[in-house]
A and B are shown apart, each in its own frame.
Chain A
Amino acid sequence: MSDKMHLKLTVNGEAVETLAEPRELLIHVLRERLGITGPHIGCETSHCGACTVDMDGKSVKACTVFAAQAQGAEITTIEGIGTPDSLHVLQEMFREHHGLQCGFCTPGMITRAWRLLQENPSPTEEEVRFGMAGNLCRCTGYQNIVKAVLAAAHELNSVKEAAE
């Protein structure tokens, strides 16, 4: 039973292959087999969202997807959203508005916010709070995360308008 399977994924735009048991969770495959340790594990009941990644254009909790289910998927993690030399606007705004303290929820928060702003480029504060409700934070009290996401939305829309 459950021989390792040959898993093929596209992670942050790059085709990757690894061997994994079907029961291995996507979060463990990313962290332990592929060395992508930005997405975190904060619970075992699918509540916290620290493991949030983007899978085939949707925010998902990588702790609640088996490696086998993810076969062939396109995954984006925090590592694919910006780099230390070239931060994504969301990353800049989380820094500028103090949207993180310990940083443990941040990769999931930003990965979720990244997709949220594609789903809804001009969200209200209420829509940001509802749209981020699958991500828990123990440090910030959320207020500055909301500010950061709204500021990023504003910034991205300004850049887009200037280009048009």
Chain B
Amino acid sequence: MIPARFDYHRPDSVAAAVGLLQQHGDEARVVAGGHSLIPMMKLRMAAPAHLVDLQGIAALRGIEAGERIRIGAMVTQSEMIAHAGLAEAAPILAEAARQIADPQVRNLGTVGGNVANGDPGNDLPALMLCLDATFTLEGPEGVREVAARGFYEAPYVTAREEEEILTAVGFDRPARGFAYEKQKRKIGDYATAAAAVLIGAEGGRVVSASVAMTNVADVPVFSAAAGEALVSTDCAADAVAAAVAAMQGDIDPVEDNRGPVEFKRHVAGVILTRAIARAWSRA
């Protein structure tokens, strides 16, 4: 319950925050909503000597919902759920965010923290793979864009360098058919398995499909093969079965108190089947 001591900083620009990270090296951590970091600090699994609070940086807020969608890293889950333009442009975000944590946590937990954390239990990473999002990172060398599909390397290991800050996520307006389907033990739990699905359709046929899975491997999983199995079909049972089989070839669940490996593989199949059905019904 009791975190270790630290010095607190509240910079008002990304440049100042990056400067603090440069100055203090691996002694420093940024805090966004604090709803993964503070619990870790209370258990002394993290004990940064310097905490760099991003709440005072206006440039990290704001949602742009045009043909290209951009969400500032400090936008909270609640703000994402409440945003009318986003609900119209990319309703999969609110559908997923409503399945993350609980109201109080969603009021402080941010998009940037969720995607940068690197815990395979987080839901937004797989969603970002499904959306083919890019992450904007700002560090001492300047700004760079990294594809979400190349960002996740291992649990808590991502392409973000230590002195970089993830400032925004961006993606093109997604296909109309969407679903984020999550199996969990209770409110606030990380997924036993969850599936993000986007389907574009024309004339009763799938013209584009994107599938990604949450918490069924060390990292979020984008299954290109599952999407390909749906393209040109009408999402009949055989096509869905082929997509599920393809997805199950790409995942690598680990046993924990949510169940053994075989159970998770099975749940992943059930969840993907449901997600495809719902996305298809909306496409």
Contacts and interface: CB of A to CB of B under 8 A. Distances in A.
Contacts of A25: 1, 3, 42
B33 to A, nearest CB: 9
B23 interface: no
A1 B102 contact: no
A134 B188 contact: yes
B254 interface: no
Interface in A70-121: 71, 112, 116
Nearest to B35: A64
Nearest to A64: B38
Contacts of B34: 64-66, 69
Closest 4 CB pairs of A and B: A134-B102, A22-B8, A68-B8, A2-B5
Interface string B137-180: 00000000000000000000000000000000000000000000
A15 to B, nearest CB: 20
B8 A5 contact: yes
Query: Residue among A21, A66, A116 with the most chain B CB within 10 A?
Result: A66
Given A60-B107, A66-B38, 17 more contacts: A1-B6, A5-B8, A22-B5, A22-B7, A23-B3, A25-B1, A25-B42, A44-B39, A44-B43, A46-B39, A49-B104, A61-B104, A64-B35, A64-B38, A66-B8, A69-B34, A134-B188
Nearest to B38: A64
A5 B108 CA distance: 23
A164 B264 CA distance: 55
A65 B55 CA distance: 12
Contacts of B31: 66, 69
A133 B102 contact: yes
B51 A22 contact: yes
B261 interface: no
Interface of A is mostly: loop
A59 B103 contact: yes
A23 B108 contact: no
B49 interface: yes
Contact of A66 (B49, B51, B107): B51
B78 to A, nearest CB: 7
B103 to A, nearest CB: 5
B53 interface: yes
Contact of B5 (A21, A58, A63, A132): A21
Interface residues of B, number: 31
Contacts of B39: 44-46, 64
A52 B153 CA distance: 36
Contact of A23 (B4, B35, B43, B187): B4
A1 B31 CA distance: 18
B105 A134 contact: yes
Interface in B13-59: 31, 34-35, 38-39, 41-43, 49, 51, 53, 55
B242 to A, nearest CB: 35
A2 B104 contact: no
B84 to A, nearest CB: 15
Nearest to A69: B53
Nearest to A129: B187
Interface string A149-162: 00000000000000
Nearest to A3: B7
B108 A64 contact: yes
Interface in A15-57: 21-23, 25, 41, 44-47, 49, 52
A116 B39 CA distance: 25
Nearest to B78: A58
A23 B5 contact: yes
A131 interface: yes
B5 A46 contact: no
A133 B51 contact: no
B103 A65 contact: no
B102 A49 contact: yes
